[in-house]
Amino acid sequence: MRKLRKMIFLGSVKLDASKRFTMIKDAAEILNVGKDDNIMFYIDNGEIIIRKVLPEQGDMYKSQNAEFNEWARKRRMEIDLMPDEDIKQMCLEDLNEKIENHKDFEEAMKSFNSE
């Protein structure tokens, strides 16, 4: 059984001469975006989808485990929405490598702390 999606109107904006627009405050808050954040646009069955581009984790070895796991979960969701299968596969392999490296680091830290 297909789940019905509920669409909620947030507002509207006008395009400027360069076809740019200013994001509605409510949408920016929902996406948790601010100055200098990047936005991705997808098309899915004729619907335009806007997503925040998730930043690379940076030095993941300094991140806490919960923060890394949350970043990885969100990154996987972002990858699942990518329309190009080749890019999707490449990004998924990269993510899986980062997850494995993080697990290895966590194990090394546990060994180091138990000595």
Q: Which pLDDT belongs to residue 60?
A: 43
* Every domain of the chain and the residues it spans: 1-53, 56-115
Q: Which pLDDT belongs to residue 96?
A: 93
pLDDT (tens place) for every residue of the chain, 115 residues total = 556 667 788 889 999 999 999 999 988 988 888 888 888 888 878 888 888 876 654 444 444 667 788 888 888 888 988 888 998 999 999 999 989 888 877 777 666 656 5
d(CA 35, CA 102): 29
Q: Architecture of 1-53 per CATH?
A: Ribbon (2.10)
Q: Which pLDDT belongs to residue 95?
A: 93
Give pTM, 2 decimals.
0.46
- What are 78-85's contacts with CB under 8 Å, separation 24+? 78/40, 78/51, 78/53, 78/54, 81/42, 81/44, 81/49, 81/51, 82/42, 83/42, 83/43
